């Protein structure tokens, strides 16, 4: 991508930034469990814009979802044995007029997973990211101390065509940012941005941000951005 639009969140207008963040956090808080599926064809067909959360195991995905939605155990189901390979859907917005879905996709890269499981995972992820029509955005969680792993890059490849043509937005959250000093945080952003430059185009909408569930860095801004994706 020649001209990366965001290496961090754009500063909101000072006057309404706080109110906008409050509204976005209130919206995120409405998230409630909808359904779980082990196969794509079990997912409900929907017109609602869907935001998928992806990342390798231990990247901090469940913690990030729980932090964003301000719910202690919302993403806990994804960790239940037997459910780790499932796609869990959450509905957001007013109960009688849902306006978006969050999809918590299976974490990947867990060492103990068998080869057969890995292949199955790849197929489910590739299919989901390529064909799910209602997919509006992808939030990729990457441990800020580790950066992209091979499986993260593979996943980016699955979704790159849709990001490049502007039909799917991408936000990379560098998680556990509380563990980095400023210099390392800057370096993590730069490395990540260089990698992403290779997959985007000028049409595409790619964001990168530091995120911490511990000190809440990036939380409000993420909620505002995700809300803007689905409100468009
Ligand atoms: P998942 O496998 O991607 O869902 O990862 P989890 O959300 O379970 O997090 C993995 C580990 O990282 C847990 O021990 C969390 O407590 C820890 N963790 C998650 N987010 C943060 C964070 O923002 N800061 C710190 N310091 N630790 C975190």
> Does the pLDDT value for residue 42 go beyond 60?
yes
Closest C-alpha among 158, 155, 160, 193 to residue 174: 193
Percent of the chain with pLDDT over 70: 86
List all residues 6 or more positions away from 215 whose beta carbon is below 8 Å from its beta carbon: 177, 178
Q: Kindly give the distance from the C-alpha atom of residue 17 to the centroid of ligand 1, in angstroms, as a whole number.
A: 28
Best of 63, 77, 79, 83 to mutate for ligand 1, by most ligand atoms within 8 A of CB?
Answer: 63
Atom 14, ligand 1: residue with shortest CA distance: 58
- pLDDT for 3 equals 47
Mean pLDDT for the stretch of residues 42-52: 94
Give the binding-site residues of ligand 1, using a 6 Å CB cut-off: 55, 57-63, 107, 175-176, 178-179, 212-214
pTM surpassing 0.85? yes
- Going by pLDDT thresholds of 50, 70 and 90, the confidence category of residue 205 is confident
Q: What is the pLDDT of residues 134-163, one digit of tens each?
A: 999 999 999 999 999 998 998 999 999 999
Identify the weakest region by mean pLDDT among 4-18, 150-164, 200-214. 4-18
End-to-end CA distance of the chain: 23
Identify the weakest region by mean pLDDT among 4-8, 156-160, 199-203. 4-8
Q: Kindly give the distance from the C-alpha atom of residue 48 to the centroid of ligand 1, in angstroms, as a whole number.
A: 29
Closest C-alpha among 71, 218, 228, 231 to residue 141: 218
Place of tokens 């689905």: 230
């Amino acid at each position: 991508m020649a001209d990366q639009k965001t290496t961090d969140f754009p500063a909101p207008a000072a006057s309404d930034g706080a109110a906008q963040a409050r509204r976005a956090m209130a919206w995120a808080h409405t998230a409630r469990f909808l359904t779980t599926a082990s196969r794509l064809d079990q997912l409900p067909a929907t017109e609602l814009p869907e935001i998928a959360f992806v990342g390798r195991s231990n990247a901090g995905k469940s913690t990030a979802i729980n932090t964003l939605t301000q719910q202690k155990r919302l993403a806990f189901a994804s960790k239940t044995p037997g459910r780790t390979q499932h796609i869990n859907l959450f509905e957001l917005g007013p109960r009688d007029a849902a306006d978006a879905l969050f999809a918590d996709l299976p974490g990947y890269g867990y060492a103990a997973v068998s080869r057969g499981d890995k292949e199955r995972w790849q197929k489910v992820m590739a299919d989901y990211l390529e064909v799910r029509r209602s997919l509006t955005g992808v939030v990729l969680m990457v441990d800020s101390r580790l950066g992209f792993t091979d499986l993260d890059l593979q996943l980016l490849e699955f979704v790159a065509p849709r990001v490049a043509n502007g039909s799917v937005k991408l936000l990379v959250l560098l998680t556990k940012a509380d563990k980095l000093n400023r210099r390392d945080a800057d370096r993590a952003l730069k490395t990540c941005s260089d990698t992403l430059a290779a997959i985007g185009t000028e049409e595409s909408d790619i964001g990168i941000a530091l995120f911490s569930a511990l000190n809440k860095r990036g939380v409000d801004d993420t909620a505002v951005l995700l809300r803007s994706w689905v409100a468009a």
